[in-house]
Chain A
Amino acid sequence: QQQVKQSPQSLIVQKGGISIINCAYENTAFDYFPWYQQFPGKGPALLIAIRPDVSEKKEGRFTISFNKSAKQFSLHIMDSQPGDSATYFCAASLYNFNKFYFGSGTKLNVKP
């Protein structure tokens, strides 16, 4: 059973637009929800993360929105740029970080 479900699988956005990627999780014991960004041929790198005690976290153009009751969280990329073109993974883990569960990934293409 997939612990974290991510959508869409791919996304095309015009430069300057808003990119939105959604994730849903099953386990209410999850305590940490990061987003990772991966460029081709590279390992993923942490982009932004949130804990369930807040509903939103913003870092520059990147915002996580968290809905605990719906067990959903999403990544919003404002003013999307061609350099944002990458694959994005949401993830979830328990409080002790001993195991991370990843979504299936979203390939974002920002058109100039």
Chain B
Amino acid sequence: DGGITQSPKYLFRKEGQNVTLSCEQNLNHDAMYWYRQDPGQGLRLIYYSQIVNDFQKGDIAEGYSVSREKKESFPLTVTSAQKNPTAFYLCASTAEWQGNTGELFFGEGSRLTVL
């Protein structure tokens, strides 16, 4: 089945530790995104990548880092510099814009809790 796989689903971290969230897609999509979701808030863009080895900061990139070494993979690292990292993190992808529907496909999310 084609889709986006995020892991782990739940993650606990001690303050001061970095943690990496995995996102893998087998949809052959070019663009991938990381969003953060907090209760009562919308989805806020952390980083996005439209092509391998290239990515751009979103609206709340501070304290986060990403890499895009392969088309299928877009891992997100939550660093100790992120002041309030407890949140639900969503990875998404979409096909290249020419001829596509613009639909964002989301993974099931990773819930990070800082203890």
What is A's interface to B at a CB cutoff of 8 Å?
A: 4, 6, 9, 32, 34, 36, 41-46, 49, 89, 93, 95-100, 102-105
The CA-CA distance from A93 to B48 in the complex, in Å, is: 14
A-B Cβ contacts below 8 A, count: 60
Interface 1/0s, chain B 86-99, versus A by CB < 8 A?
00001010100100
Whether B40 and A97, one on each chain, are in contact in the complex, defined by CB atoms closer than 8 angstroms, is: no
The CA-CA distance from A98 to B107 in the complex, in Å, is: 18
Known contacts A9-B40, A45-B106, A99-B48; 8 additional CB pairs below 8 A are A34-B102, A41-B109, A42-B108, A43-B4, A100-B33, A102-B35, A105-B40, A105-B42
Can you list 17 residue pairs at the A/B interface with Cβ under 8 Å?
Answer: A32-B102, A34-B103, A34-B104, A36-B104, A43-B90, A49-B103, A89-B43, A95-B97, A96-B97, A97-B94, A98-B31, A99-B58, A100-B45, A100-B104, A103-B42, A104-B40, A105-B42
What is B's interface to A at a CB cutoff of 8 Å?
A: 4, 31, 33, 35, 40-45, 48, 50, 58, 90, 92, 94, 97, 100-104, 106-109
Known: A49-B102, A98-B48. A44 touches B97 (CB 8 A): no
Residues in A with CB closer than 8 Å to B101 are: 49
Residues in B with CB closer than 8 Å to A42 are: 108-109
From the candidates B44, B48, B50, B106, name the one contacting A44 in the complex (CB within 8 A). B106
The CA-CA distance from A32 to B102 in the complex, in Å, is: 8
The CA-CA distance from A63 to B50 in the complex, in Å, is: 31
The CA-CA distance from A99 to B101 in the complex, in Å, is: 14
Whether A102 and B40, one on each chain, are in contact in the complex, defined by CB atoms closer than 8 angstroms, is: no
Nearest B residue (CB) for A93:
B102
